Amino acid sequence: MTNKQTIVSGIQPTGRLHLGNYLGALKNFIKLQNDYQCYFFIADYHSITENYNPKDKPQQILNLAADMLAAGLNPKKCALFVQSDIPAHTELAWIFNCLTPISYLERMTQYKDKAARQKENINVGLFDYPVLQAADILIYHATAVPVGQDQDQHVELTRQVARFFNNRFGQTFTEPKSLHTETPKIMSLADPDKKMSKSLGDNHCLYIDDEPKIIAAKLAKAPTDSGDAKSAGAKNLLTLSKIFSSEKLYNQYLAAAKSGGLRYGDLKKNLAADIAAHFTDYRQAKQTLLKNPDQIRKVLAAGARVASAVAKKTMAEVREKIGISY
Ligand code: ADP
Ligand code: TRP
């Protein structure tokens, strides 16, 4: 065991990764793996709380693993695994269920949004989702959780669950904090008052594996303003150019916006080229990885072995403390 701090985060295998997922979460995973004990996982049990087709799920899992590896996660530096390979997550979630008041879950905004979106399928899992997330995090004694802003309420609930457990059964879990990047909330391209999200649809998202032509076409359609960069859409584009374009170009845009004469056509064209270039290596690496799914499975199995050892130890301690051991 090292005495490095522990980081945990998960992403659901529900579709392609967009710039929000990358800039809010995955980019940070790649940075953090160098300095922390990291557990990154594919949250497949979370993903079945929403409508899905079982035929698609295996490929979604492999795809997300390929995305994470191709973008720069190094399995020698972090444990990368699939949530359902570690049954202790769901086991601990059950114990946390018995400590968490229903009223706390009723406040969760993501639950309310998703329930409104899938009225015909408001299942118990969708409601209980944050408790499973608390188990995912606490089982590894994480001190920090790299996520986008939309997950802060779930991390706060995780802290609360840790307190419930510690107060009742004695100090066991650390209270983790959210870790944000400088861009914790990337906005939709088509509707920049909303967060970029898969659930809004393809025209709202720039996927990191979009081909250069598609990136250019999607940016070309993004709403802007008359040139002073005061609108949400223009601000979002400037945020992206700050990250992907050269400092010189970005400063030129800022100066142009100050005088009210920012030409979005130029900005969009340059930004599209810079984003496409940024993800060239990733796109190639992903294609190579997907040609050899057994190699991906091996990486995930090795990650699961590392995670499982820690999870089992936590569960033994928890069972003992709650009186389920004889
Ligand atoms: P989506 O909302 O598209 O379904 P997920 O819920 O799978 O995305 O999110 C995976 C990770 O990406 C989480 O850490 C989440 O906070 C982060 N994230 C999602 N959307 C954005 C966004 N628009 N800006 C910044 N981070 C985001
Ligand atoms: N709820 C997160 C999301 O929708 C995914 C997730 C599941 C997660 N378990 C986690 C994130 C544990 C961080 C830590 O994006």
Mean pLDDT (the chain) is 97
Question: Residue 146: its pLDDT value, please?
Answer: 98
Cβ atoms of 168 and 135 within 8 Å: the answer is: no
Tokens 């992907």 correspond to 244
**Residue whose CB lies within 8 A of the most ligand 2 atoms, among 12, 42, 114, for a mutation test:** 12
In the predicted structure, residue 63 carries a pLDDT above the cut 90: yes
Residue of the nearest CA to atom 6 in ligand 2? 10
Ligand 2 pocket: which residues have CB below 6 Å?
Answer: 8-12, 43, 46, 133, 136-137, 145, 147, 151, 154
Looking at residues 78-89, what average pLDDT do you find? 98
Find out whether 219 and 207 touch, Cβ atoms under 8 Å.
Answer: no
State the Cα–Cα distance between residues 264 and 118, nearest whole angstrom: 37
| Contact predicate 267/229, CB 8 Å | no
For residues 271-300, give the mean pLDDT: 98
Task: Read off the pLDDT band of 68 (50, 70, 90).
Answer: very high
Ligand 1: atom nearest CA of 146 is 14
Torsion of Cα atoms, 253 then 256 then 262 then 264, to 10°: -20
Q: How far does residue 171's CA lie from ligand 1's centre (Å)? A: 32
Which atom of ligand 2 has the smallest separation from the CA of 8?
A: 14
State in Å: Cα 155 to ligand 2 middle.
9
Rounded CA gap, 224 and 4, in Å?
45
* 8 A C-beta contact, residue 105 and residue 147: no
Read off the amino acid at residue 251.
Answer: N
Q: Is pLDDT at 40 greater than 60 in this prediction?
A: yes
Q: What's the pLDDT band for 2 if we cut at 50, 70, 90?
A: low
- Model-wide pTM > 0.85: yes
- Report d(CA 81, CA 151) in Å as an integer: 20
Determine the 3-state secondary structure of 236 from DSSP: helix
Q: What is the pLDDT of residue 4?
A: 84
- CA 245, CA 257: separation in Å to the nearest integer? 16
Distance 145 CA to ligand 2 centre (A): 9
Of 43, 23, 21, the residue nearest 130 (C-alpha):
43
For tokens 């914790």, what's the residue?
Answer: 184
Question: What mean pLDDT do residues 296-325 have?
Answer: 98
Give mean pLDDT, residues 72-95: 98
What is the C-alpha separation between 228 and 259, in angstroms, rounded? 7
74, 31 contact by CB (below 8 A): no
pLDDT digits (tens, 9 = 90+) for 171-181: 999 999 999 99
pLDDT over threshold 60, residue 1: no
Residues 63-68 have a mean pLDDT of 98
pLDDT in tens, 125-177: 999 999 999 999 999 999 999 999 999 999 999 999 999 999 999 999 999 99
27 flagged as catalytic:
no
Find the catalytic residue in 198, 242, 269, 321: 198
